Amino acid sequence: QVQLQESGPGLVKPSETLSLTCTVSGGSVSSGSYYWSWIRQPPGRGLEWIGYIYYNGNTDYNPSLKSRVTISVDTSKNQFSLKLSSVTAADAAVFYCARYFRDSYYFDYWGQGTLVTVSS
């Protein structure tokens, strides 16, 4: 059974960089069948796709966040990571990592989510 687990600071100061890591178990980030994604959900609001990465390092990002987002993958640790720079209060959200199945175009496994608050 594939499991994803987010980790990282729950509090980030305005203007700083948010950094999160997703650890994958029961599956491999090196699999060519999947992209590894980040999705966020501000409190009480809907989901927003942030971006995803392929095992070879190819990335795609939400155009509205592209200038501030970097997603990277570490195949040796079976992890992938998110960096979001210059955060503001509007970036506060539950952040989910998820697996995207490229052959059928859906997000099939999700982490439980981690809440990140932006405050000084």
Partner 1 sequence: QSALTQPASVSGSPGQSITISCTGTSSDVGTHNLVSWYRQHPGKAPKLMIYEVSKRPSGVSNRFSGSKSGNTASLTISGLQAEDEADYYCCSYAGSSTWVFGGGTILTVL
Return the residue of 63, 67, 90, 119 that touches partner 1, per CB under 8 A: 63
77 binds partner 1 (CB under 8 A): no
**Of 8-16, 41-49, 69-77, 78-86, which segment contacts partner 1 by CB under 8 A?**
41-49
Minimum CB distance to partner 1 smaller for 45 or for 83:
45
106 binds partner 1 (CB under 8 A): yes
CB 42 within 8 A of CB 35: no
Neighbours of 84 (CB within 10 A): 24
CB 41 within 8 A of CB 111: no
Q: What is the phi/psi pair of residue 20, to 5°?
A: -135, 150
Q: In this structure, what token pair is assigned to residue 80?
A: 């992938």
53 binds partner 1 (CB under 8 A): no
Return the residue of 17, 26, 45, 75 that touches partner 1, per CB under 8 A: 45
DSSP state of 77: T
